[in-house]
Chain A
Amino acid sequence: MEQNASYLPILIQAAIAIGFVGLVLVLTHILGPRRYSKKKVENFECGIESEGNARFPVSVKYFLTAILFVLIDVEVIFFYPYAVNFREMGVQGFLAVVMFVAFFLVGFIYIWKKGALEWEK
């Protein structure tokens, strides 16, 4: 049982977190005034009248661009910890990062050649 004791704080925290959420939900339910009207139950109720359906097809090009952006973005994120540890990691670290970048570069050249970056095609 001793080993389980160390998880007690986590358990308490989880209980508090869930309890808080539950409490707030219940409180708003009890305290808040309720008015039902057509405008009230609409989606995105923010004063402006909504038009059409939110789920309409978007060109796949946007997704492609977005996902490529995420990839490059994640690559850049890796540079932050590397920048901090630049000196400690020395030449070996440098080579590792160069390899990492090289892989990305290969991928970049590939999508470029493949034509994924051309908007009009």
Chain B
Amino acid sequence: MIALVTVLLTAIITLFVNLVNTKWSRPVATLGLAVALGVCFYDFSNPYEDASEMLYFSHASTIFSGLTILIGLILIGTSEYSITYAGKNRGDVYALMLFSICGALILFAYSNLLMLFLGVEILSIPLYVLAGSDKDNLASNESSLKYFLQGAFATGILLFGIALVYGASGSFFIGGSKANNIINYQLYSGGGLTMFNMGVFMMMFGLAFKIAAAPFHFWSADVYEGAPDLITSFMATVVKTAGIVAITIFLLSIGFLNKQWEMTFAIMAGLSLVVGNFSALKQMSFKRTLAYSSISHAGYLMLGITINDPIIIPTLLFYLLAYSLSTLVLMIGMSWVAGHTGKHDFTAFNGLAKKHPILAGLMAVAMLSMAGLPPLSGFFGKYFIFAEVFNQGALSKDGGFWWLVLVAAINSVISIYYYFRIIIAMFFSPAISEEEVPAMPRINLFVLGLMCLGLLIAPLFATQLYGLMFY
């Protein structure tokens, strides 16, 4: 809770600092997030429950908050060069990112559907602006408008869902211990089950839009490609984390009512995997490939949701950690290269390993992790999800979603094809770009190195991570 307040205050302070001196905005924002990250530790030992049942900061939500704040910290901290497009408005960009993080923190802790809605809006509205923050760039403007139009549409669906749920249950509260939560109301008041289900579905569709799961993914490729690199990385990590956690919290609270639900999720998961991977195969632009790959990662996360057991929270956390870290490494690296060559194509990376072996090496590690090769975190992220799905399948009579795991496994093989394209470009293609890419600043490289190290050692601490969640 205090972390949330800290981030909010940081955002406001950044706004005003920017008015005084643009140069100070990044240090202030970074410092504020660092403080917020520290505060998370305090929050962790002091779970906060709002009296009017709006927010509940449990251990799990604090850890997710910490992850999101960390992502923000890394992004803003290393953004010295990737922010230059914003000119004098960079403080505003930072502030909007921080507001968006506030929305994410609310989504990790909501215990009331109103807060869910507010969280989604606080998360999204700054992003609509951020996507278009490169004002002189037509692609950025286009992506902003597209995101806004479709986002508004999805929000409408979400709101419609919430209304239906409220209509069926007469309550906004979620959470098992409350006597007046939506489940109990729904059961005791005899509200329409069909209506309730319909509401839940609409809500899920609205949230699936946020994590770019098929068939609600259409915005993502265009928006990711058009938005500035900094914002794309922010969307790919923070928004995805927030969305999937929001879905999970809601589904856990209503206890995954019946089997048929999972099937819909399984279909969405499978669709996301296939669509994301297959679309990524033939792209010219690395950035767009990453956008599609993030769709397929939404598929893995959706697959995780079919597990239908509280164990999904740590499983998803681990996956999100691995996914976010590797995405950040790739995006920051890409942003650096693209910032100097002006291209996001694969060819922009040709021969990078010769000139900047460390950067290329770190990006390769991140790529391998994304592709899910052992012993990197990406592999274990997938492995944990697959294993849990199998476990649940073994418990159920019909074998659960083993077929979906098969689809996912095949897709992760397919994905290696396009993930390796960048590695091949970096290591085996001769450089063709005339633009000289200068060496990345040491400090940024160091941060990337730390993240790669994290990718390497995170599996060692998986057990502890699981333990923290149930602490």
Contact = CB atoms under 8 A, between A and B. Distances in A.
A110 B16 contact: yes
Nearest to B92: A114
Interface string B343-375: 000000000000000000000000000000000
Contacts of A2: 190
Contact of A3 (B12, B15, B19, B191): B191
A106 interface: yes
Contacts of B190: 2-3
Contacts of A106: 12
A114 B19 contact: yes
Interface in A4-55: 4, 7
A110 B192 CA distance: 48
A113 interface: yes
> Which range contains the number of A residues in contact with the other chain?
under 10
A3 B16 contact: no
B interface secondary structure, majority: helix
B90 to A, nearest CB: 14
Interface in B236-265: none
B12 A113 contact: no
B192 A4 contact: yes
Interface in B188-216: 190-192
A113 B190 CA distance: 55
Contact of B192 (A3, A113, A114): A3
A87 B15 CA distance: 36
Contacts of A4: 192
Contacts of B12: 106
Interface in A106-121: 106, 110, 113-114
Contacts of B192: 3-4, 7
Nearest to A2: B190
A106 B12 CA distance: 8
B15 A110 contact: yes
A106 B191 CA distance: 44
Interface in A86-106: 106
B180 to A, nearest CB: 20
Interface in A67-99: none
Contacts of B15: 110
Contacts of A3: 190-192
Nearest to A7: B192
A114 B191 CA distance: 51
A107 to B, nearest CB: 9
B168 to A, nearest CB: 9
B19 A113 contact: yes
Contacts of A113: 16, 19
Residue of A3, A7, A106 ringed by the most chain B CB atoms within 10 A: A3
Nearest to A115: B19
A2 B191 CA distance: 10
A113 B192 CA distance: 53
Nearest to B8: A103
Interface in B77-111: none
A56 to B, nearest CB: 20
A85 to B, nearest CB: 16
B279 to A, nearest CB: 36
A113 B16 CA distance: 9
B178 to A, nearest CB: 22
Contacts of B19: 110, 113-114
B124 to A, nearest CB: 18
A110 B191 CA distance: 47
A89 to B, nearest CB: 13
Interface of A: 2-4, 7, 106, 110, 113-114
5 contacts: A2-B190, A3-B190, A3-B191, A3-B192, A113-B19
Given A3-B190, A110-B19, A113-B16, 7 more contacts: A3-B191, A3-B192, A4-B192, A106-B12, A110-B16, A113-B19, A114-B19
Q: 10 nearest interchain CB pairs?
A: A113-B19, A3-B192, A110-B15, A3-B190, A106-B12, A4-B192, A114-B19, A110-B16, A3-B191, A110-B19
